[in-house]
Chains A and B, each alone.
Chain A
Amino acid sequence: MNKTLLVAKWEFIEKVKSKAFVVSLFLTPLLIILFSVAPTLLTQSEESETTVIGILDFTQEYYKQLSSDLESHKLKNNTPAYLVRNLYSNELTKDSMIIRSDIMVLNKKIDGYLIIEKSNSDSLITNYRSKSVGNFKLISILESSINNIYLKEALASRNIDVSVLGLFNNKVNINSVKIKQAGEEGESEFLTTFFSSMIFILLLMMMIIYSGQMLVRSLLEEKSNRLIEILVSSCSSNELLLGKILGLSFLGLAQILLWVLIGIAAVGSALVSYNAFENLPIILFYFLLGYLFYTSLFVGIGSIVSTEQEAQQITSYLSIILVLPIIFLLSAMQNPESTIVNILTYVPFTLPSIMIMKSNLMEIPLFEHLIAIVIMFISTTIIVFLSGKIFRIGILSYGKMPSLKELKSWLKD
């Protein structure tokens, strides 16, 4: 068997077997799903228990309507979501009513209560008092309900038809629609696009950073225990370099495949919308191109380090270059055809991320894909060539990291 393939096979199998790899394999998508899906899921999830709230209506006009409005909200099992208690009492003063109600909240008899009083002008002053102030959902229900009652009465007292109110609720929303082909629409929602692009770009970056670190660390191990001398006395440094790139690419491929499976499972369970995977083949293609490009870069540059500290230093520099496109991402998403985005589409460092994002936002013409592929192909070839030059000397150099001047002389050698 070809020695390049032997090296590739070894790199692949040994890394697949490592515990760190297995952990990252599942941890990375899990983290990303957690960060992107969990907040939405949590806010959307229905409360499962009936909440008892109080109303202290000093106007004596809103209680009845408000409590029936609130009690019409049902939980999933058809029990009422809210139970309303009237806290108003003719026998007590205003202050003692508030104190009594506060005590009820503190004793957990009620979750909170709403105070309604008239201001000097025609408007209402309302306060919701509870132990915490984060109950957005309840507050928004209370707000819309009380506004509705207030407006209805105000309209009625001015002899205006109450059905006018319906007009106010008919707000106009603009849908943004992506044209796929003439007459054919692709559904597009900004948030979906943003998250699905973000997920893929983050996955790409995390994968590159992670496998890059793994690569540099394994090179360091081979260097520090002189295994590299045995390897180079068994095959040429180019075979070794290509084998490592190939092995890691297979590793990347395996990782992507598994993640796609996880993704399909996520779609199946309706956690993620199908839209996020609509452009999957294109996205995966650029994913691989980017991965290959950066891996080649990591192999070359990683070969010059000879201590753990240097390895960390150099991988963090490379990671910064890698993460840089994120800065442009939001602006690129808002205007995918701006000059800066067009420039970044032709820079091999940012091309994969930008193309992944663009493919989610718009239909990319075929020639643009072709140009991108040619750019990635040429730049990856150049990087492999340069990395090979650095690698040959780098893997056998110990001590101080080479200066730029020395690196230049290596490239000429």
Chain B
Amino acid sequence: MILLIEVTLCTIILKKMLEIKNLSKNYGNIKAIDNLSFKVNSGKIFGLLGPNGAGKSTTIKSIINVIKPNDGQILFDGNPINNNFLNRIGYLPEERGLYKKSKVIDVISYLASLKGLHPNEIISRANSWLAKLGVIDLRNRKIEELSKGNQQKIQFICAVIHNPDLLILDEPFSGFDPINQQEIKNFILDFLDNGKSIILSTHQMDTAEKLCSDILLLNNGKSVLQGSLQEIKQNFGGNHIRISFNGDQNILQSFSEVISYETFSNFIEVHLVDNFPPSEFLKKLVQTVSVNHFTIIEPTLEKIFIDTIKNEKSK
């Protein structure tokens, strides 16, 4: 019986999701977003990636009701978004800043109250978050007296204090030192455990690779790559190897199986034609040079990002 309730609860929680259908937004003649559709599932981090000006910000602003799209639908749990939905999202903008002249606790209280949180609850939650992030001492200080990192922490608290169902984070780690980055990362992962959805927009590909299970790569307002990270990596053509050897690296050009290669200080990354077994390539290579190092590597998200965008440009 209890199991059954848990199962139904789980399905209810899992049902929470954001669905974007045929979203378009024009600024004059420029198409900032062009017929974009995607889904953000609960309990997962959705990576919204793309070069500068790809339309990431416009997409986010459409979701949080800051701009009106020209066309398309934004559904949350199957319903069109409305003002009540605003209370269920948390947003951490890329460019940070709070009321400089105001006290930390006042700013948090104000922004939390606008999310519909009850005043009594605000204080207890604010205190617990301030304590969790180690800034409880700064409670009654003015924002302008805080260091940049601490201001970011306050801003993070403002984004999550109302326990939103959908959390939108735009470059959440910028400005944090590695220790704080790790801390924030853990808090973000805690959110996932509670069945929330997170949209993460970032230029840090290694972070996205570690955190995101689904990604959407945008370019010029259009989706150029979309799906689960695992599938994307598999489909990208996994035939990459890392080698180092004694001898002239130009020899690689003589192999017909080599599509491209990239030289780093201690090794070379080689992209082989699909379906050509790397072991066969190693056999061919040892006949001409002495190999010091050989590993088969998965393509990094960064590599996928750069190649895909470059391909798009050359089209």
Chain B: minimal CB distance from A327 (Å): 37
Among the 9-residue stretches A225-233, A274-282, A338-346, the one with 4 or more Cβ atoms under 8 Å from chain B is A225-233
The answer for the CA separation of A6 and B118 in the assembled complex, in Å, is 12
Chain A: minimal CB distance from B261 (Å): 42
In contact, B97 and A236 (Cβ under 8 angstroms) = no
**Taking the complex as formed, is B102 at the interface, i.e. its CB lies under 8 A from any CB of chain A?**
yes
In contact, A1 and B89 (Cβ under 8 angstroms) = no
Among the 9-residue stretches B58-66, B232-240, B241-249, the one with 4 or more Cβ atoms under 8 Å from chain A is B58-66
Chain A: minimal CB distance from B201 (Å): 13
Q: A230-B93, A230-B158 are in contact. Are A18 and B110 (CB under 8 A)?
A: no
Q: Restricting to A1-27, which residues have a CB under 8 Å from any CB of B?
A: 1, 3, 6-7, 10, 14, 18
* Residue of B with least CB distance to A243: B114
0/1 interface trace, chain B 83-115, chain A, CB 8 Å (1 if under): 100110101011111111110001000110111
Q: Restricting to B170-202, which residues have a CB under 8 Å from any CB of A?
A: none
**Taking the complex as formed, is A234 at the interface, i.e. its CB lies under 8 A from any CB of chain B?**
yes
**Taking the complex as formed, is B67 at the interface, i.e. its CB lies under 8 A from any CB of chain A?**
yes
**Taking the complex as formed, is A224 at the interface, i.e. its CB lies under 8 A from any CB of chain B?**
yes
0/1 interface trace, chain A 152-175, chain B, CB 8 Å (1 if under): 000000000000000000000000
Option from A3, A18, A226, A231 in Cβ contact (under 8 Å) with B95:
A226
Q: A233-B65, A234-B86 are in contact. Are A225 and B97 (CB under 8 A)?
A: yes
Contacts of A224 in B (CB 8 A): 97
The answer for the CA separation of A224 and B87 in the assembled complex, in Å, is 24
Contacts of A106 in B (CB 8 A): none
0/1 interface trace, chain B 34-73, chain A, CB 8 Å (1 if under): 0000000000000000000000000001001111000000
**Taking the complex as formed, is A235 at the interface, i.e. its CB lies under 8 A from any CB of chain B?**
yes
**Taking the complex as formed, is A396 at the interface, i.e. its CB lies under 8 A from any CB of chain B?**
yes
Contacts of A7 in B (CB 8 A): 114
In contact, B111 and A232 (Cβ under 8 angstroms) = no
The answer for the CA separation of A375 and B101 in the assembled complex, in Å, is 39
In contact, A233 and B97 (Cβ under 8 angstroms) = no
The answer for the CA separation of A10 and B112 in the assembled complex, in Å, is 12
Contacts of B89 in A (CB 8 A): 233
In contact, B114 and A3 (Cβ under 8 angstroms) = yes
Q: A6-B110, A7-B114, A236-B83 are in contact. Are A225 and B91 (CB under 8 A)?
A: no
The answer for the CA separation of A126 and B54 in the assembled complex, in Å, is 91
Option from B83, B95, B99 in Cβ contact (under 8 Å) with A14:
B99
Chain A: minimal CB distance from B82 (Å): 10
Number of contacts between A and B (CB, 8 Å)?
Answer: 61
Chain A residues within 8 Å of chain B by Cβ, number:
21
The answer for the CA separation of A396 and B110 in the assembled complex, in Å, is 21
* Residue of A with least CB distance to B155: A230
In contact, A226 and B110 (Cβ under 8 angstroms) = no
Contacts of A226 in B (CB 8 A): 93-97
Chain B: minimal CB distance from A394 (Å): 13
Option from A6, A18, A229 in Cβ contact (under 8 Å) with B114:
A6
In contact, B110 and A10 (Cβ under 8 angstroms) = yes
Chain B: minimal CB distance from A397 (Å): 10
Option from B91, B100, B106 in Cβ contact (under 8 Å) with A229:
B91
The answer for the CA separation of A1 and B100 in the assembled complex, in Å, is 25
The answer for the CA separation of A10 and B64 in the assembled complex, in Å, is 22
Q: Restricting to A63-91, which residues have a CB under 8 Å from any CB of B?
A: none
The answer for the CA separation of A230 and B64 in the assembled complex, in Å, is 9
Contacts of B93 in A (CB 8 A): 226, 229-230
B interface residues, Cβ below 8 angstroms from A: 61, 64-67, 83, 86-87, 89, 91, 93-102, 106, 110-111, 113-115, 158-159
A interface residues, Cβ below 8 angstroms from B: 1, 3, 6-7, 10, 14, 18, 221, 224-227, 229-236, 396
Give 23 CB contacts A-B under 8 Å.
Answer: A3-B114, A6-B114, A10-B110, A221-B100, A225-B95, A225-B96, A225-B98, A226-B94, A227-B97, A227-B98, A227-B99, A230-B111, A232-B65, A232-B66, A233-B64, A233-B65, A233-B66, A233-B86, A233-B89, A234-B87, A234-B114, A396-B66, A396-B67
Query: Given A1-B113, A236-B65, A396-B67, 8 more contacts at CB 8 Å?
Result: A3-B114, A14-B102, A226-B96, A227-B97, A230-B159, A233-B64, A233-B89, A233-B91
